[in-house]
Amino acid sequence: MIIFPAIDIKGGKCVRLLKGDFNKVTKYKKSPLDQATEFFHLGFQNIHIVDLDGALEENPINENIIKEISKINKIKIQVGGGVRSLDYIKKLLDFGVDKVIVGTAAIENIKFLKTACDKFNNKIALSIDVRNGYIALSGWEKQTDILAINFIKKLEHTNVSRIIYTDINKDGTKTGPNLKETLNFSNITKIPIVISGGVSSINDVISIKKKNFQNIEGIIVGKAIYDGNINIKELSKII
């Protein structure tokens, strides 16, 4: 199971949100590049990056920062936030990004998702962000009436490489991930699932890793690292 330390970028800084609320932002001292470098030197080869400005503006904003992070030798980063075109996907992949995360554009236009998956084989990850089971879009600002478990049925003939399943009500709360809903979701698709939202302690990660759930490819860890609830050096020992 892959452990993805997370870097959310807003205003050029590392930040974390509480339940996706842009009015509840915590800023951290280290730059995104310095934070990514630290993660890599500790042994993390996979990093999850979100351009929050891009998600809000529906256009890439922090691509220069992402480009610099992607230069770290042998690092694998998955990047999302504001990805709305095939051209930008290609630009990110040309930077050396491992996987590009699409969300709003893919859910609003399934044809775009299928085209992207066909054009960029095994390079497209899908972000499904849910609030009480229903998908939210545009940096979680736009709530839909689309049930995630219904939308997943549309993906049978797409080559999505992985799904990042985020429980918005858990994100940034450090109250533990919503395993029940995530596992229910993972059981109705063959696409590998990455757990996101709510990790509170290293025990959350160890417990999930030991259980070796079928179809769970990884887990994203964010705020608990930045706030010191998880010792990043200890976490690196269980990669």
Coil/strand/helix, residue 178: coil
Coil/strand/helix, residue 100: strand
Question: Smallest Cα–Cα separation from 77: which of 120, 116, 33?
Answer: 33
Cβ 14 vs Cβ 226: under 8 Å: yes
To the query of whether residue 8 is one of the catalytic residues in this protein, the response is yes
Residue type, 96: G
8, 53, 98, 204: the catalytic one is 8
51, 53, 98, 129: the catalytic one is 129
To the query of whether residue 53 is one of the catalytic residues in this protein, the response is no
Overall residue count recorded for the chain in this entry: 239
N-terminal to C-terminal alpha carbon distance within the chain = 8
Using alpha carbons only, what angle is made at residue 215 by residues 213 and 219, rounded to the nearest 5 degrees? 70
Catalytic annotation, residues: 8, 129
